[in-house]
Amino acid sequence: MLILFLVIVTGAALPFSSFFIRVFTGDMSRGIPGHIEKTIYRFTETDPDHEDGWKGYARDLLAFNGIGFVILFILLLLQGFLPFNPENFGAFNLFTAINTATSFVTNTNWQVYSGETTASYLTQMAGFTVQNFLSSATGICIAIAVMRGITRQSTDRIGNFWVDITRCTLYILLPIAFIFALILASQGVIQNLDPYAQAIGYVPTGQQTIAMGPVASQEAIKELGTNGGGFFNANAAHPYENPTSLTNLIEVFLILLIPVTLPLVFGRMTGKMWQGWMIYTVMLVLFLGSFCTLYAAELTGNPLVKELGVSGISMEGKEVRLGLFGSSLFATSTTATSCGAVNSMHDSLTPLGGLVTLFMMLLGEVAFGGVGSGFYTMIGFVVLSVFIAGLMIGRTPEYLGKKIEVLEMRAAVIAVLVPGVLVLLLSGIALVLPNVEELMKNPGPHGLSELIYAFASMSQNNGSAFAGFDASKPFYTLIGSLAMVIGRFVPAVSMLALAGSLAQKKKVPPSSGTLPTASVTFSVWMILVILIIGALTFFPLFAMGPIAEHLTMIGGI
């Protein structure tokens, strides 16, 4: 089942990757969309033939996201005065607005609000959905710029941000999101602007309010762009977001599609498909490993419950209609990418299952990773792995003919390690603050996991939550916003710097003295580097969080 599913994803990614190449080389800029593209350039005074160095690219990218933040922020505060608000929701709380705007701009989609009780339809459509497109396009642009840096030589140009983001949105994200919105709607995902319905429910209290809204249009891009911000609070566990096992698979497919495609795009761009497959394989192995562990942990459940004669599998917090497999697949996919949509309560995963989701985020979300961010973080890991491996064969390390020197190391180290350090420091600070116990619903090892999960989710721009740790206090919304901004843009800008530096270098022709990076040995080495760096960074936290919880659980203490 899983294998078949991954084969389908990969099968789709292969032709999709050549489509990517055509989009970003401007090969698709024809016909009506080409006309729209040209109109946009005329309007924004963009010269599509001009390319920038990494600094210019980063400047445009930051400016664009800054503007996106301001617009969304204003929208959140003014939604009460604007149309498409049948439930008459007022303005967002100031701190919530800052946190939410940051969250959507950084592709985190951490939600300290409940969609159906806070956000108007206009906010959902013009605010969140638009940022879902733009933040994921931003990630893809960075990945493409990094690929250009590696493949080009003797130039300082890595592309034009405005052109890249226009093409990415126009030719890739919009059409696919449109098609899949229709498919999802056909399966029962709602799409309307109606006021909330009233129903005589099963509940003894009688009336029940059923939230409505333009869900399908947001759902498709939410998964495709690994955004993950749910229309409803229950996210993809909500029947209007994810009604059936089929939509569940479609949504996981969408989450994985672009992250799986990007390494193959890279393979095509370098002209060495095996290099793309190597990165793909490393991602796949990590993904499979985490899925199997999580699935096994959930299947095993709590042995003590089993002793009581009850089926041991852990169904707490999972939707019966999606099942254990569907929930495990979704949970792995959403944390292994930086999606953060959920179809089950991650908080209710078994300790080891929860550890897997936590670990996947803390590894930097590289197994297949967020759209763009997964790829460029992976390149950061490639640079680290190549560096140590290169030394071991007695050459200045090189990757695809590009020498890895001081600047590249600095960029890779920052991109790979900063988010992790952020999690450590924020968790460390939060735990010594006096009121921490009050914010935890489940003090003890589980509460600790919840707290670490919250900071991991924000720093790594995932957006999913264990819940349980109340991060809606002004202090934490601001700290969280800061974490999201640092976790997003520090690695992004340093990887652009790396691209800029690599683009200037000449390629060293390969020989038998060159370390082959598309080999089994190197893939194993890369997996080890990723796992060891992750494990070394978080071992003490895991020991006192999920591991202690697991041991407590099986020990029955």
Partner 1 sequence: MPRKRYPSLGAFESKLLREALISAVLKLDLRQQAGNPVMLLVEIGGILTTISFIISLFSATARTSFFTGFVSFWLWLTVLFSNFAESVSEGRGKARAASLRQSRTSVPARKLKTESFDASSIEISSSDLRKGDLVLVKANEVIPGDGEVVKGAALVNEAAITGESAPVVRESGGDRSAVTGGTTVIANEIIIRITTDPGQTFLDRMISMVEGAERRKTPNEIALEILLIALTGVFLAVVVSTYSVSAYSAASSGRGAPASLTVLIALFVCLAPTTIAALLPAIGIAGMDRLFRLNVVALSGRAIEAAGDVNVLLLDKTGTITLGNRQAAEFLPVDNQSLDDLTEAALLSSFADDTPEGKSIIALIQEKTGIAPVSPENVTFIPFSAATRVSGAQCKDTTYLKGASDAIAKAVLERGGVIPSDLKAKVDRVASAGGTPLVVARNETILGVIFLKDILKTGIKERFADLRRIGIKTVMITGDNHLTAATIAAEAGVDDYLAEAKPDDKLKMIRDYQNEGYMVAMTGDGTNDAPALAQSDVAVAMNNGTQPAREAANIIDLDSDPTKLLDIVEIGKQILMTRGALTTFSIANDIAKYFAIIPAALIGIYPQLEVLNIMGLATPQSAILSAVIFNALVIPMLIPLALAGVKFKTMPASKLFAYNLTIFGLGGIIAPFIGIKVIDLVLAGLLHI
Residues engaged in binding partner 1 (CB under 8 A): 384, 387-396, 401, 404-406, 408-410, 413-414, 417, 420-421, 424-425, 427-429, 431-432, 436-437, 443-445, 447-448, 506-509, 511-516, 519, 521-522, 525, 528, 532, 535-541, 543-545, 547-548, 551-552, 555, 557
Kindly state the smallest distance separating residue 392's Cβ from partner 1, in Å: 4
Structure tokens at 138: 């931003």
Kindly state the smallest distance separating residue 304's Cβ from partner 1, in Å: 14
* Cα angle: 158, vertex 164, 165; to 5 degrees: 135
Nearer to partner 1, 6 or 440 (CB): 440
Kindly state the smallest distance separating residue 444's Cβ from partner 1, in Å: 5
Nearer to partner 1, 73 or 387 (CB): 387
Kindly state the smallest distance separating residue 348's Cβ from partner 1, in Å: 20
Nearer to partner 1, 294 or 389 (CB): 389
Q: Are 348 and 553 in contact (CB under 8 A)?
A: no
Q: Across the strands, what pairs with 167?
A: none
Q: Residue 14 and residue 16: Cα distance in Å, rounded?
A: 5
Kindly state the smallest distance separating residue 542's Cβ from partner 1, in Å: 9
| DSSP assignments along 134-194, one per residue | HHHHHHHHHHHHHHHHHH--S----B-HHHHHHHIIIIIIHHHHHHHHHHHHHTT--B--P
Nearer to partner 1, 254 or 548 (CB): 548
Nearer to partner 1, 75 or 515 (CB): 515
Nearer to partner 1, 249 or 413 (CB): 413
Kindly state the smallest distance separating residue 277's Cβ from partner 1, in Å: 17
Cα 349 → chain centroid: 20
Kindly state the smallest distance separating residue 274's Cβ from partner 1, in Å: 13
End-to-end alpha carbon distance in the chain: 37
Kindly state the smallest distance separating residue 523's Cβ from partner 1, in Å: 12
Nearest to 255 by CA among 225, 292, 294: 225
Kindly state the smallest distance separating residue 417's Cβ from partner 1, in Å: 6
Q: Are 295 and 545 in contact (CB under 8 A)?
A: no
Nearer to partner 1, 67 or 532 (CB): 532
AA identity, residue 309? G
Nearer to partner 1, 88 or 512 (CB): 512
Nearest to 341 by CA among 431, 259, 238: 238
Nearer to partner 1, 149 or 445 (CB): 445
Residue found under tokens 């080409």: 34
C-alpha pair distances (Å), 326 with each of 283, 294, 443: 20, 12, 30
AA identity, residue 353? G
Q: Residue 6 and residue 11: Cα distance in Å, rounded?
A: 8
Which ranges constitute the DSSP H helices of 319-405? Answer: 323-336, 351-362, 373-392
